[in-house]
Each structure stands twice: as C-alpha cells, then as structure tokens.
C-alpha cells in the first residue's frame, strides 16, 4: 500500500463516517444519555491531550518545567484569572525553572 492509497482510504472512511452521522435519527441524539456521553468524552479527550503534551516526548515520559507550569495555570484558572494572565504566568514559571536549571 502506498502513502497515497492510505490517504485516500482514510479520506473515504472519514466521509463515510460523517455520512453515517447524518443518518442517525435526531431523537437518538436528543436523549440525555448520548448528550452526557458526548460532553464527558470531550473533556476526557482534552485532558488526555494535555497529559500527553505535558509529559510526553516521543515514546518517553519526561518530567520537566512543563509540569509546574501546567499546575500554575490550573491554579490560576481555578481562581478565575484572565486567560492571558494564565498563559503568561505559566510561561514565566517554565522559563524561570529552565533558566535556573531546576527543570530541563
């Protein structure tokens, strides 16, 4: 299988899945259970993405300046700080830790 064959196969599968989504009756999606599952699935996928981007480098788990930065960001978000303040504070924490050599 060539790369282009794999790309076209994946594209066709994606279009097929999207088409199947349009064929699902709306009353199935309006029920409380599917709505709740969709909400929880979104949060779970976002949490997994944050964990992978924070701890992962290739196939390894790496503990570095990103972990304290994410913890600072989470704390500021819980305190309802503005988003730009959260991003700036997390970046400052990571930069200072790297500068001081505490977390490579």
The 10s digit of each residue's pLDDT in 36-83 is 998 899 999 999 998 898 888 888 888 889 999 999 999 999 999 999
* Average pLDDT over every residue of 27-38: 87
Helical (H) or strand (E) element with 104 = none
* Average pLDDT over every residue of 82-103: 94
The CA distance from 10 to 51, in Å, is: 27
Distance of CA 30 to the CA centre of its chain: 26
The CA distance from 83 to 15, in Å, is: 36
- The answer to whether the CB of 68 falls within 8 A of the CB of 75 is no
- The answer to whether the CB of 69 falls within 8 A of the CB of 94 is yes
The residue assigned the tokens 């480098």 is: 57
Between 94 and 59, the higher pLDDT residue: 94
């Amino acid at each position: 299988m060539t790369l282009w064959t794999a790309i076209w196969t994946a594209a066709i599968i994606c279009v097929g899945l999207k088409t199947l989504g349009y064929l699902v009756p709306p009353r199935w999606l309006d029920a409380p259970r599917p709505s709740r599952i969709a909400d929880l699935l979104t949060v779970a996928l976002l949490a997994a993405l944050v964990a992978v981007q924070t701890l992962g480098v290739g196939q390894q788990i790496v503990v570095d300046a990103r972990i304290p930065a994410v913890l600072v960001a989470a704390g500021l978000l819980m305190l309802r700080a503005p988003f730009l303040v959260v991003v700036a504070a997390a970046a400052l924490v990571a930069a200072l830790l790297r500068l001081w050599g505490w977390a490579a």
